[in-house]
Amino acid sequence: MNQLIIKSSLTPALARLIELMQALNFGRVEALTIRGGQPVFDPPPHVVQKIKMGADNDPRPEIGYNDFRLKGGIVELLEIIARLQDGEIRTIEIRCGLPISAEIEWGPDAPGHPVALSRSR
């Protein structure tokens, strides 16, 4: 996914994940199920908001935009979701509405599984 990616080009499930991260602004999304390379919101993931005292804890202003170019961290997360196919993202850490790290539980046959990748080399 090296080309320019804009929000309107995403599936509704991927767009919903981006909006969730923008609404959260700071915190974590936990136990996000991935099926067929798409986030699943039934059951809903756990959302943990980090509140900063004396700071603006409101959603990101971009949440109201119909379309915008996706930043690198979001594009990288989308690539991970596509490779994962079926599994769980245990935690996505969010800062300023953007993913900065993730803990992935790979299915044993996932094409992007780190062990499977190391065997193919």
1 falls within a domain: no
Per-residue pLDDT of the chain (121 residues), as tens digits, is: 456 799 999 999 999 999 999 999 999 999 999 999 999 999 999 999 999 899 888 999 888 888 999 999 999 999 999 999 999 999 999 999 999 999 998 877 767 777 655 556 5
Domain tally for the chain?
A: 1
Q: What is the pLDDT of residue 120?
A: 60
Residue 95 lies inside a defined structural domain of this protein:
yes
- Provide φ and ψ at 34, rounded to 5°: -120, 125
Q: What are phi and psi of 16, to 5 degrees?
A: -65, -40
Q: Which residues of 38-52 are buried (b: 16+ CB within 10 A; e: fewer)?
A: bbeeeeebebeeeee
User: Domain range for residue 114?
Assistant: 7-119
